[in-house]
């Protein structure tokens, strides 16, 4: 968290990962981000992982530092309030972020009629308006069929990588559009398709060109690096590690640190490749891996750590989520990235802020996610200027709800 964008206000209608992550990124930069949800929460409100009481750790994770407003979006009066909040005046306000189908009155034309310079950022599935989510976009991307051992069995990523890319792209697009508005007074509608985020990345990484130019695509090669040397190895104590030699320097360090330099040099002669090149190491990867595998299998993870310390070898152990959280000091409040936060309804645990240090914007503690509806009354009062009596009437008539759900 910092205060770099503290003069911005973003109103978010969202669910799941992408738009919530984009909005939360802004909130962690200090922007006022108001997530407006239907009464009872949106479709992601109970998404797993959850606590034993069914409270979503996922929702808490993706909505930190936001304000929460709960409105009856199925009623005209609820939608009118949402529209009024979204289109409220103020130089840093009038920015709307969504990955949901627009409700009546919350489309760009309606919002722009209320505020001419409004910026609306919309993430959709496919460009033609059809549905797509991370799982379907990933299936289409080509990656699952080269992940894991291959053989025609697709392996899906577990990290929602396309949603993450889309969320961070949205944050960039938001700042680009806001910069344009600050210079020209013009708002705009910005539309991104999740499928296009995937397609752009497949192209950026060279895979579209590979098929067009070479008529082929990279194969599935398990955990091997494509086009260089890198592979996972088992240790004597049943751990796994990645060892990588992308650069000549890393390659030479690996030979030195393992004492296998002479044997590895024989691989070059045996396989008739230049091991100083990435392509040479890739072609000879099985021959390189054989002595390394024996070396790793004879040592514990701790012994390997000692052997590689300060050596210039590029490597790292695999760890599961429990090992990451319990044993890796980077994943604790010892890392300034994390703050111990008391999350309402859940408890205290370390929550990450922005993965940046800005020298001109001191890091502030991570703030928790709101309770659903926690800021309904405050937002209606501060932004719409509603009197207490009117707010009470809206509660009584079921148009708005506070953190008690009513």
Write out the binding residues for a copy of itself, residues 201-240 only, by CB under 8 A.
201-214, 216-218, 223, 225-228, 230, 232, 238, 240
Q: C-alpha distances in angstroms, 203 versus 123, 152, 162?
A: 20, 22, 14
Tell me the closest approach of the beta carbon of residue 45 to a copy of itself, in angstroms.
11
**355 to 374, contacts with a copy of itself by CB under 8 A?**
355-361
| Listed ranges 69-77, 97-105, 160-168, 293-301: which one lies at the site for a copy of itself (CB under 8 A) | 160-168
Residue 56 region, left (φ>0) first, then alpha (ψ -120 to 50), else beta?
Answer: beta
Give the C-alpha separation, 385 to 183, whole Å: 29
Q: Residue 316: in which H helix or E strand, if any?
A: strand 314-317
How many residues sit close enough to a copy of itself to count as binding (CB under 8 A)? 150
Q: For a copy of itself, what does the binding mask look like between residues 90 and 129, x meaning CB under 8 A?
A: ------------------x-----------------xx--
Tell me the closest approach of the beta carbon of residue 364 to a copy of itself, in angstroms.
15
Q: Count of CB atoms within 10 A of residue 372's CB?
A: 26
**322 to 351, contacts with a copy of itself by CB under 8 A?**
322-326, 328, 330-331, 335, 337-338, 343, 346-347, 349-351
Which residues share a beta bridge with 33? 10
Q: C-alpha distances in angstroms, 354 versus 162, 337, 363?
A: 19, 7, 9
* The one catalytic residue among 128, 163, 274, 377: 163
Q: Which is nearer to a copy of itself, 16 or 295 (CB)?
A: 16
- Mention every residue, 6+ apart, whose C-beta is less than 8 A from residue 45: 37, 56, 59, 372
- For a copy of itself, the binding residue among 157, 252, 263, 363 (CB under 8 A) is 157
| Listed ranges 78-86, 133-141, 266-274, 397-405: which one lies at the site for a copy of itself (CB under 8 A) | 133-141
Q: Is 61 in the site for a copy of itself (CB under 8 A)?
A: yes
Q: Of 163, 194, 141, give the one whose Cα is nearest residue 47.
A: 163
- For a copy of itself, the binding residue among 80, 107, 196, 364 (CB under 8 A) is 196
Q: Residue 98: in which H helix or E strand, if any?
A: strand 95-98
**374 to 393, contacts with a copy of itself by CB under 8 A?**
none
| Listed ranges 50-58, 75-83, 258-266, 380-388: which one lies at the site for a copy of itself (CB under 8 A) | 50-58
Q: Which is nearer to a copy of itself, 84 or 140 (CB)?
A: 140
Q: State the DSSP string of 197-247.
A: HHHHHHHHTTHHHIIIIIS--PPP-TTPPTTSEEEEEE-TTS-EEEEEE-S
**Burial class of residue 225 (count of CB atoms within 10 Å of its CB; 0-12, 13-18, 19+):** middle
**CA 325, chain centre distance (Å):** 18
Q: Which is nearer to a copy of itself, 80 or 161 (CB)?
A: 161
Q: Is 185 in the site for a copy of itself (CB under 8 A)?
A: no
Tell me the closest approach of the beta carbon of residue 375 to a copy of itself, in angstroms.
21
Q: Is 75 in the site for a copy of itself (CB under 8 A)?
A: no
Q: Which is nearer to a copy of itself, 69 or 241 (CB)?
A: 241
Known catalytic residue: 107?
Answer: no
Contact (Cβ atoms closer than 8 angstroms) between residue 35 and residue 23: yes
Give the C-alpha separation, 341 to 370, whole Å: 12
Contact (Cβ atoms closer than 8 angstroms) between residue 401 and residue 37: no
Q: Which is nearer to a copy of itself, 350 or 395 (CB)?
A: 350
Q: Is 199 in the site for a copy of itself (CB under 8 A)?
A: yes
- Mention every residue, 6+ apart, whose C-beta is less than 8 A from residue 394: 77, 81, 380, 386, 400
| Listed ranges 96-104, 293-301, 312-320, 397-405: which one lies at the site for a copy of itself (CB under 8 A) | 312-320
Active site residues: 163
């Amino acid at each position: 968290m910092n205060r770099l964008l503290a003069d911005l206000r973003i109103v978010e209608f969202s669910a799941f990962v992408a738009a919530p992550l984009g909005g939360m990124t802004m909130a962690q930069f200090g922007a006022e981000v108001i997530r407006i949800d239907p009464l009872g929460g949106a479709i992601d409100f109970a998404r797993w992982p959850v606590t034993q009481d069914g409270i979503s750790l996922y929702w808490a994770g993706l909505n930190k530092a936001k304000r929460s407003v709960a409105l009856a979006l199925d009623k005209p009066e609820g939608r009118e309030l949402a529209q009024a909040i979204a289109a409220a005046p103020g130089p840093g306000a009038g920015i709307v972020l969504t990955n949901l189908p627009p409700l009546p009155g919350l489309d760009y034309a309606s919002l722009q009629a209320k505020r001419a310079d409004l910026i609306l950022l919309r993430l959709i599935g496919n460009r033609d308006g059809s549905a797509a989510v991370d799982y379907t976009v990933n299936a289409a991307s080509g990656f699952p069929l080269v992940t894991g051992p291959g053989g025609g069995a697709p392996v899906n990523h577990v990290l929602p990588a396309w949603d993450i890319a889309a969320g961070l792209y949205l944050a960039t697009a938001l700042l680009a559009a806001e910069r344009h508005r600050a210079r020209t007074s013009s708002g705009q509608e910005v539309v991104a398709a999740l499928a296009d985020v995937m397609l752009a990345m497949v192209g950026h990484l060279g895979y579209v060109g590979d098929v067009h130019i070479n008529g082929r695509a990279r194969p599935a090669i398990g955990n091997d690096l494509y086009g260089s040397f890198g592979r996972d190895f088992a240790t004597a104590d049943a751990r796994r590690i990645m060892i990588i030699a992308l650069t000549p320097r890393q390659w030479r360090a690996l030979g030195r640190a393992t004492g296998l330099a002479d044997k590895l040099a024989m691989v070059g002669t045996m396989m008739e490749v230049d091991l100083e090149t990435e392509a040479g190491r890739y072609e000879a990867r099985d021959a390189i891996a054989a002595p390394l595998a024996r070396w790793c299998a004879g040592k514990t993870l701790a012994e390997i750590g000692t052997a590689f310390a300060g050596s210039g070898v590029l490597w790292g152990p695999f760890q599961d989520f429990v090992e990451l959280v319990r044993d890796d000091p980077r994943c604790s409040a010892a890392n300034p990235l994390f703050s111990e936060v008391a999350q309402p309804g859940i408890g205290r645990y370390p929550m990450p802020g922005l993965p940046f240090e800005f020298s001109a914007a001191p890091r502030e503690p991570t703030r928790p996610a709101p309770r659903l509806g926690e800021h309904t009354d405050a937002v209606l009062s501060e932004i719409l200027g509603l009197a207490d009596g009117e707010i009470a009437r809206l509660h009584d008539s079921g148009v708005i709800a506070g953190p008690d759900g009513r």
